[in-house]
C-alpha cells in the first residue's frame, strides 16, 4: 500500500492509494488474484480493478480511492485490501485515512522590524494544532497576497519599494492544509528621500561621498585640512556613472550633524533625525 497514510481537511477530499500485489508462486504461470477492499464506516471505497492477472515472479498494481462521507467525524481511520487466489493463502495490505477538521490556533504577537539596509524581519509566537494531522508550516501574507511560507517563527525579506507602507499577516497551516485565521497586522514603511543617511569618509581623498539609490544624486563635500568642511556640493549622476559639472541647488540637502575627522551626516530633508 502506498502511501500508507494520507491527510484530508475540511474539503473531505478523496485520497488515492496504490495497491500492489506480487505473485511469488514460481510453480504457476499467470495467476488471477481477486481484490476486495474493506472500508471503515463513513467511507466509500472503489478499486480501479477488482482482479489482477499476474505472471509468476511479477508485480501488478491498481488504485484504491477512499472517500469520506459528508457526516464522517474527525479521526484516524484504518482500511485494508485483500488479495485472494482460490485454494491459496490470501494477503492483506492496510493503510490509514486521517480526517482533520480543525484549523491550527491563530498566530499571536506578530511584530515587524526594518533595518537600515531595507530588510524587513517578521517574528511571531508559535501556533498549536489540536486536530489529527499536526502543524505543518506558516504562510506569510503581504498586503493580502501570499508572499511565502516557512516552518520557523521568523521571516525576512528585502527589496521593498521606497515610500510604501506594507502590511503583513501570518497564518498557520496543518498537514491537512487547514489554515488558521490571519493574525494581527504588522506594518512597515520604507523611508523615502527623507530617510537617514550616513556618508563615510574617504581618508585618501579626504572627502565625504555617497550615492543615494532612490534619487541617483551624489553629495561631495571637500574637507579642509583644519576646521569644518566646505558647504556640500550636490551633483546629479548620469547613466554612465560620471558626474557632470552642472551643480544642483544646495537647498536639496541639509547638514544635520557637525563634522568630525571621519564623517559628516547629511540628509535630504530638514526634518530628519539622526539615530
- Residue 184: which CATH number? 2.60.40.10
Give the separation between CA 62 and CA 49, rounded to whole angstroms: 6
Residue 171: partners with Cβ closer than 8 Å, 6 or more residues away? 107, 138, 139, 141, 179, 180, 181, 182, 183
Per the model's pLDDT, the better-predicted residue between 222 and 105 turns out to be: 105
**Res 211: pLDDT:** 34
pTM as predicted: 0.64
Tell me what pLDDT residue 12 has: 94
Give the least confident one: 143-152, 162-171, 252-261.
252-261
Mean pLDDT for the stretch of residues 200-217: 36
Which pLDDT score, from 0 to 100, does residue 253 have?
Answer: 36
Find the DSSP H helices in the chain: none
More confident residue, 267 or 158: 158
In a domain, 275, yes or no: no
**Residue 23 reports pLDDT greater than 80:** yes
Residue keyed to cell 539596509 = 117
Do 21 and 73 belong together in one domain?
Answer: yes
Q: Is residue 32 part of a domain?
A: yes
Say whether pLDDT at 85 is over 60: yes
Q: 65 lies in which domain range?
A: 5-99
Residues in the chain: 275
In the predicted model, what is the mean pLDDT of residues 141-169? 92
Q: Which residue, 99, 133, 157, sits at the end of a domain? A: 99
Q: Are residues 25 and 81 in the same domain?
A: yes
Range among 140-144, 226-230, 246-250 with highest mean pLDDT value: 140-144
Domain edge (last residue) among 189, 220, 240:
189
Average pLDDT, whole number, for the chain? 76
The three three-digit cell numbers of residue 102, written as one number: 480543525
* Residue closest to 97 by CA, chosen among 68, 134, 130: 68
Q: Please enumerate in sequence order all residues whose Cβ is within 8 A of that of 168, keeping only pairs 6 or more positions apart, or say none.
A: 110, 112, 120, 122, 140, 141, 142, 147, 185, 186, 187, 188
DSSP 133: S
pLDDT of 269 over the 90 cut: no
Amino acid at each position: 500500500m502506498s502511501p500508507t497514510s494520507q491527510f484530508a481537511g475540511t474539503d473531505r477530499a478523496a485520497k488515492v492509494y496504490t495497491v500492489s500485489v506480487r505473485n511469488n508462486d514460481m510453480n504457476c504461470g499467470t495467476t488471477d488474484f481477486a481484490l476486495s477492499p474493506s472500508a471503515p464506516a463513513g467511507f466509500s471505497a472503489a478499486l480501479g480493478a477488482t482482479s489482477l492477472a499476474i505472471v509468476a515472479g511479477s508485480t501488478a498494481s491498481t488504485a484504491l480511492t477512499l472517500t469520506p462521507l459528508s457526516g464522517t467525524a474527525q479521526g484516524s481511520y484504518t482500511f485494508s485490501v485483500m488479495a485472494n487466489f482460490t485454494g491459496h493463502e490470501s494477503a492483506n495490505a492496510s493503510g490509514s485515512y486521517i480526517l482533520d477538521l480543525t484549523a491550527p490556533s491563530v498566530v499571536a504577537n506578530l511584530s515587524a522590524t526594518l533595518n537600515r539596509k531595507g530588510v524587513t524581519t517578521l517574528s511571531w509566537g508559535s501556533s498549536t494544532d489540536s486536530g489529527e494531522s499536526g502543524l505543518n508550516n506558516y504562510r506569510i501574507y503581504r498586503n493580502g497576497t501570499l508572499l511565502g511560507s516557512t516552518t520557523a517563527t521568523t521571516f525576512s525579506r528585502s527589496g521593498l519599494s521606497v515610500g510604501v507602507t506594507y502590511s503583513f499577516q501570518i497564518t498557520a497551516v496543518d498537514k491537512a492544509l487547514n489554515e488558521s485565521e490571519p493574525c494581527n497586522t504588522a506594518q512597515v514603511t520604507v523611508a523615502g528621500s527623507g530617510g537617514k543617511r550616513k556618508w563615510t569618509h574617504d581618508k585618501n581623498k579626504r572627502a565625504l561621498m555617497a550615492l543615494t539609490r532612490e534619487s541617483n544624486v551624489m553629495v561631495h563635500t571637500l574637507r579642509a585640512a583644519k576646521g569644518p568642511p566646505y558647504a556640500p556640493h550636490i551633483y546629479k549622476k548620469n547613466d554612465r556613472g560620471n558626474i557632470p559639472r552642472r551643480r544642483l541647488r544646495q537647498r536639496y540637502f541639509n547638514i544635520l550633524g557637525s563634522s568630525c575627522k571621519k564623517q559628516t551626516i547629511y540628509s535630504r530633508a530638514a526634518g530628519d533625525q539622526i539615530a
